[in-house]
Amino acid sequence: MKHTLMTVLALALLAGCGDDNLDQQDAREQATSRSCDRAARCGAIGPGEEFVDRDDCEVEFNSLWNGQWSKQDCDGEIREEDLGVCLAAIDNTLCDNDLDEANTFFIKCAEERVCGGSND
């Protein structure tokens, strides 16, 4: 009985550890897509705008998020819950509001929060 209980406890602990962690590439791709969706909503994609087209936007944001979340520190360490806070912040960042953009990038989507950090 004691052995069975220990096995069940060990399996329960393993089930809660790491199953929902994403790799850095998955998180980066999701953030890039959401960022470009927002850029489109804000009218920042098109001739004469910040981004010439969607591809241009994706290249820029892919690089930005790749720099924000280093592969060395984040790969396999990104919890869906933590990333979800960041993605929601990207979705809700106001257009043409530098302070809101800074809050999203430096606070809500900071590496220490997204890569296994805290959502306080």
Establish if 1 belongs to a structural domain.
Answer: no
Instruction: Tell me the pLDDT of the chain (120 aa) as tens digits.
Output: 454 444 433 433 344 444 568 899 999 999 999 999 999 999 999 999 999 999 999 999 999 999 999 999 898 999 899 999 999 999 999 999 999 999 999 999 999 999 975 544
Class of residue 53 by CB neighbours under 10 A (exposed 0-12, middle 13-18, buried 19+):
exposed
Establish if 31 belongs to a structural domain.
Answer: yes
Provide the 3-class DSSP secondary structure of residue 76.
coil
> In the prediction, which pLDDT does 19 show?
53
- List alpha helices for 23-70, DSSP H: 24-41, 54-68
Number of domains in the chain: 1
> In the prediction, which pLDDT does 116 show?
74
> In the prediction, which pLDDT does 117 show?
59
Across 2-119, where does the E strand assignment appear? 21-22, 78-79
Full domain range(s) for residue 110: 21-114
